Structure 1
Amino acid sequence: MVDRFYEPSTVQCPYPYYEQLRAEQGVHQLEDEDVFLVTRHADADAVLSRVDDFSNKAGPGLRQKKLMGAEAALPDAKYRVVRTLLTNDPPSHSRFRKLVTRAFTARRVKALEPAMRGIVDDLIDAFPANGRVDFVRDFAKPLPLIVIADFLGVPRSDLDVFEKWSDDAAEVLGGTLTPERSLECQQSLQELLGYFDQKIAERKLDPADDFLTMLVEAVDKDEKPLTVQEMLAISYVTLVAGNETTVNLISGMMLLLQQNPDQLARLRADRTKIPVAVEEALRLEAPVQGSVRLCKADTEIAGTPVPQGSRVLIVAGAANRDAEVFPDPDRFDVDRPNSRHHLSFGKGIHLCLGAALSRQEGTIALEHLLDRLDSFEMPADFTPAYKDNAVLRCLLELPLDVRKAGS
């Protein structure tokens, strides 16, 4: 089979390619790369569970070496991202996860609901009077960015630079980076870490009721606190993961509603189906299309030999459309009974810590959009376009004509 994973046409719509991989091989090695794609649900589920065989220290994304060339290091870099949550293994990973989980309990996430509802209403209030919005720019991007900034405890006045830092970090995960662009993204990361370094120093002197203060005050069972480097790494991961994934969830969900007006009508008639609609959006348009693991020893996946040192991309975007698990898998169905069996948030010890937060944002957003807008319609001639990123599913824009209730 000819590799099409990085081709622009595949990035724009990867699902036919995924379907071909599932049907022909299930596990597929990319040409000229030590990367194996795992595309069937059962195989992906199994790899996520084999934490002794597959390490998370591969890094969170893919870097196309043949496109990037020899990547130059940033001169005089002051900060580096140490391994804490996203690119770590037990027992070290277990320590960090236990400390950070305290900030993502069901009670704490539920306590954020009133503020989330206020943010959603403010964004809807700000929709232009002429009724034409870019849903990505005007709603899907600012909502999670404001939520995660408030959660971290940083001022909303810094949202513009936060967005830039987050976008640059996301580009590294699956974009086609030139050496020059790679250096720009490294510089952006240094700026972000320097910003958090300053904020953490402020919290040590003046604690607040926020995530940064929780990191400063956190101690493990041996009364050992987090180092500044560890706090910086966790703050960085929280910003990027909490922002980028939810942007993609909310924008992808709205696009699916536009493409499936019968399902939108079902939601308007019965709001209890909203949670399933959120899960279906996560399943059909996985915000993160794949997660990377490093093979720790010679092994095999579904009969395919995988050598030690190889990288394995667990392609959630493919596994989530496996007909063996999801009948009529390409259909957006707000009555689907097993939508939550998707792998978009991972599984097991590396299940996304912010999954409940992201689900809550998606649910509240859809509730208020349905309550406050009598209609929201995409132009008939609109063709969706996505960022050149093989790992993150980033819709560039989504024009809508909206009519507020009572107008």
Structure 2
Amino acid sequence: MRRAMNDISTHFNPMAPDQLHDPYPLYARMRRERPVFYSPMFDLWVVTRYADISEVEKDTARFSSVGALDARAEPHPEVRAVLAQAYPRFLSLVQSDPPDHARVRAVFGRALSAQRIAAMEPTLRETADALIDGFIRDGKADLIQRFAYALPGFIICDLLGVPRSDMEQLKRWSDDKTLLMSATAPIEQQVQSAHGFIAMERYFREQLHERRRHPREDLLTLLVPQSMGGTAPLSEQEAVCNAMDLFAAGHETTTGLIGNGLWLLLNAPEQWKAVREDPSLLPNALEEVLRMESPIRGFFRTVMADTALSGVTLPKGSRAFILYASGNRDETQFTEPDRFDIHRADAKKHLAFGKGIHFCVGAQLAKLEGRIAFEQLLRRLPGLRLRTDEAPVFRPYFMLRGFEHLPIAWDV
């Protein structure tokens, strides 16, 4: 085997074709041979074991979440010049540390209360049915493009209180934001995406000012800062950054959950049959999907003090990447971790929604969306199957694990 294949530190590249398709054999090698290693390609320390990832998540003093969404601490100078027109990017909930984190999270606790989320079920079901109505007679479709993007996209628009007709544009800007986070695209493309980021920021700033003038029963109204006459203990910059992150997080996780889940289930006929015959198995099946194929590959952290993990010292000031996708298949935590089992008793131990203070504030919404999506697909598309004449296509993003295209067919 070539040296590059033997050297984990140089072989690690989440966007390489082989790792897009099936990174898990490499992740198993990492956990066995080099559970914490430095990646010169990305200037990151990669953390692969469940216990180490959990320690990083809980130790907010030594591992800062500021910049948690960015692969590189500093963008390219041309990109930085464009972003100089924007607010600082590290003001959102997922990119904050104590004590600011508790202040910001309290706002989202009100906005995403269990009561508010439960009340969304009828709208979710109606939206799922309307989307299926648009392609059911065709007998085939791209699940991602026709359903898995739009369902959570429309729902997060409803929550924020922005028109559903804006969803496609917001999705394009959100993709720009995701591309910037990876910092691996050609510079020209990153510059173009930086302009999209600026446009998205402008959009939500204008929406917040509209809510200041005309409050509504929506999440954006709850984000209006006290300094603008609202109730949120946020600055205007924080409110805008959190609105942007909420849209991105509000559709990316569920899109991945739906696509990854259907792919796993349709490749496991006996388990698909079990869920089809007994939909009450869906909640735990979705937990197992989140473990096996987490839509979020991991997050970044900044090391605030020299810290040892698995016998390796991460130096102060360096960047770390906590690889959920590896921790979720850690042999010390899960029996037969590479086996997909919808009956797995401890599936909920997965890392897909994080741990500690950064446990995903929208986790319950994502699970509800996933359950409703599968209930409606099961009910309305008999003989649902993966197409054999067209291959699925994975999304080439550093942080995200999911499909750009997932061709499916059913009986008409």
TM-score bucket of the superposed structures, by smaller chain: over 0.9
Q: What amino acid does structure 2 have at the position aligned with 1:337? A: A
Q: 2:162 — aligned with what?
A: 154
Written as runs of structure 1 = structure 2, the 5 A alignment for 1:201-350 is 201-216=209-224, 225-350=233-358
- Structure-to-structure mapping, 1:86-105, within 5 angstroms: 86-105=94-113
Q: Give the structure 1 partner of residue 176 of structure 2.
A: 168
Cα pair 2:224 2:232 within 8 Å, conserved: no
1:20-76 CA distance string (max 9 Å, x none): 10111211211355411111111111211111211101331314989x687441177
Distance 2:166 2:409 in 1: 30
**Cross-structure match for 2:47:** 38
In structure 1, C-alpha distance between the alignment counterparts of 2:384 and 2:282, rounded to whole Å? 17
Tell me the equivalent position of 2:71.
Answer: 62
Is residue 27–residue 38 contact of structure 1 (8 Å, CA) maintained in 2?
Answer: yes
Q: Does 1:21 align with 2:30?
A: yes
Is 1:58–1:311's contact at 8 Å kept on the other side of the alignment?
A: no
Structure-2 separation of matches of 1:75 and 1:285: 33
Q: Distance in 1 between matches of 2:68 and 2:348?
A: 26
Offset from partner CA, 1:354-403 (integer Å, 9 cap, x none): 11110110011111111222221112354332122121113121111123
Stretch deviating more after TM superposition (240-249 or 54-63): 54-63
**Alignment check: 8 A CA contact 2:225 2:233 kept:** yes
Alignment check: 8 A CA contact 1:248 1:287 kept: yes
Measure, in 2, the Cα distance between the counterparts of 1:136 and 1:21. 31
Q: Aligned partners of 2:287 and 2:232: how far apart in 1?
A: 38
Q: SS at 1:9's partner residue?
A: helix
Contact 1:291 1:313 in 2 (8 A): yes
What is the match of residue 21 of structure 2?
12
The normalised TM-score by structure 1 is 0.93
d(CA) in 2 for partners of 1:187, 1:13: 33
Q: Paired residue for 1:53, among 54, 62, 73?
A: 62
Q: Which runs of 5+ in 1 are unaligned?
A: none
CA distance in 2, matches of 1:325, 1:78: 42
Kindly, what percent of the aligned residue pairs are identical? 36
Structure 1 residue matching 2:320: 3-state secondary structure? strand
1:252-300 deviation per Cα after TM superposition (whole angstroms, max 9, x unaligned): 1111111111110010121111001111111111111011111101110
SS in 2 for 1:73: helix
Paired letter, 1:62: A
Question: 1:127 touches 1:133 (CA, 8 Å); kept in 2?
Answer: yes
1:394 to 399, 402, 406: 402
Secondary structure of 2:394's counterpart equals coil
Distance 1:265 1:350, change over 3 A: same
| Structure 1 residue identity aligned to 2:174 | S
What is the letter of the counterpart of residue 30 of structure 1? S
Rounded to whole Å, the distance in 1 between the matches of 2:331 and 2:218 is 43
Cα distance between partner residues in 2 of 1:71 and 1:225: 31
Q: 2:89 and 2:39 mapped to 1: Cα distance? A: 28
Structure 2 SS opposite 1:86: helix
Tell me the TM-score normalised to structure 2 length. Answer: 0.92
With 72-81 and 84-93 compared, the bigger mean Cα shift is at 72-81
Structure 2 contact 67–95 (Cα < 8 Å) conserved: yes
Q: Distance in 2 between matches of 1:111 and 1:13?
A: 38
The more displaced of 80-89 and 70-79 is: 70-79
Aligned-residue Cα RMSD (Å) equals: 2.1
1:55-134 paired onto structure 2 within 5 Å:
55-63=64-72, 71-74=79-82, 77-134=85-142
**Residues 298 and 307 of structure 1 are in contact (CA less than 8 Å); yes or no, is this contact kept in structure 2?**
yes
Structure-to-structure mapping, 1:159-198, within 5 angstroms: 159-174=167-182, 176-198=184-206
Amino acid at match of 1:200: L
- How far, CA to CA, are the matches of 1:24 and 1:65 in structure 2? 30
1:363 aligns with 2:344: no
The Cα of 1:217 is off from its aligned counterpart by: 6.4
Task: Please say if residues 166 and 243 of structure 1, whose CA atoms lie closer than 8 Å, have aligned partners that are also in contact.
Answer: no
Task: Decide whether aligned partners of structure 1 residues 218 and 367 sit closer, same or farther in structure 2, where only a CA change above 3 A counts.
Answer: farther
Q: Distance in 2 between matches of 1:337 and 1:242?
A: 27
The amino acid across from 2:393 in the alignment is A
1:138: which partner in 2? 146
Question: Deviation per CA, 1:106-164, whole angstroms, max 9, x where unpaired?
Answer: 11111111111111111111115231111111110101110101110000111220110
Question: What amino acid does structure 1 have at the position aligned with 2:46?
Answer: L
Q: Secondary structure at the match of 2:91?
A: coil
Question: Counterpart of 1:74 in 2: which secondary structure?
Answer: helix
